[in-house]
């Protein structure tokens, strides 16, 4: 199989692309630049994407290993009219963004957490985000944002996947 599904759209991967990191493939071949290149060592979390429901560092995954997988990037989170996903909106509402460089990775880690736990504790959130570094906001607002997103989605009976739509 030479395909990878990104934000609901299947892409054929060329032989020359198989050795690229998923980060390189997303940014340079698919032009999905919301996934950030922070350290290229898997330590900062800026390149986090969700692969088959799990938050993973895209800089550490060769495209070869992602073939056949379903990948969601920050670009795949917005709704049909371009509205932000409830997680993205909660980050804005809680003041959990400053420079924004770490934000896509934080949102994707939060997304993976909420896929498996719609009502995580503050400690669960901290554990899920421990691999994502932020140098601007501090982490309290980020934890608050994830709690807010979880609350909004539960109260409005929104599936976590509500904003993930196919891209063309």
167 in a domain, yes or no?
no
Of the candidate ranges 78-82, 93-97, 113-117, 160-164, the one whose mean pLDDT is the lowest? 160-164
Q: Write down which residue in 45, 76, 107 finishes a domain.
A: 76
94 in a domain, yes or no?
yes
The total of structural domains in the chain comes to 2
pLDDT of residue 151: 95
165 in a domain, yes or no?
no
CATH code (residue 48): 3.10.20.30
Residue 54: strand pairing partners: 51
The H or E element that residue 45 is part of is: none
57 and 101, same domain (yes or no) = no
Biggest CA pair distance of the chain: 47
128 and 104, same domain (yes or no) = yes
Q: Are 96 and 128 in contact (CB under 8 A)?
A: no
Q: Render pLDDT for 36-89 as a digit per residue (tens, 0 to 9).
A: 998 889 889 999 999 999 999 999 999 999 999 999 999 999 888 888 999 999
pLDDT (average), residues 113-129: 96
Calpha distance 21→8 (Å, rounded) = 20
Name the phi and psi angles at 131, rounded to 5.
-90, 5
pTM attached to this predicted model: 0.92
Side-chain-side CA neighbours of 55 within 13 Å: the count stands at: 27
Host domain of residue 27? 3-76
Q: Calculate the alpha carbon distances from 164 to 9, 13, 57, 153 in Å.
A: 11, 22, 19, 14
Q: Render pLDDT for 38-48 as a digit per residue (tens, 0 to 9).
A: 888 988 999 99
């Amino acid at each position: 199989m030479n395909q990878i599904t990104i934000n609901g759209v299947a892409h054929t991967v060329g032989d020359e692309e198989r050795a690229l990191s998923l980060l390189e493939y997303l940014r340079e071949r698919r032009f999905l630049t919301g996934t950030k290149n922070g350290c290229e060592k898997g330590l900062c979390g800026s390149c986090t994407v969700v692969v088959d429901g799990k938050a993973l560092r895209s800089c550490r995954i060769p495209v070869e290993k992602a073939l056949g997988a379903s990948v969601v990037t920050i670009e795949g989170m917005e709704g049909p009219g371009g509205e932000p996903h409830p997680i993205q909106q909660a980050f804005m509402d809680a003041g959990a963004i400053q420079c924004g460089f770490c934000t896509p990775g934080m949102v994707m880690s939060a997304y993976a957490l909420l896929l498996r736990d719609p009502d995580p504790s503050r400690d669960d959130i901290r554990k899920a985000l421990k691999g994502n570094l932020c140098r601007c906001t501090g982490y309290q607002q980020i934890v608050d944002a994830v709690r807010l997103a979880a609350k909004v989605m539960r109260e409005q009976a929104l599936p976590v996947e509500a904003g993930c739509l196919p891209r063309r």
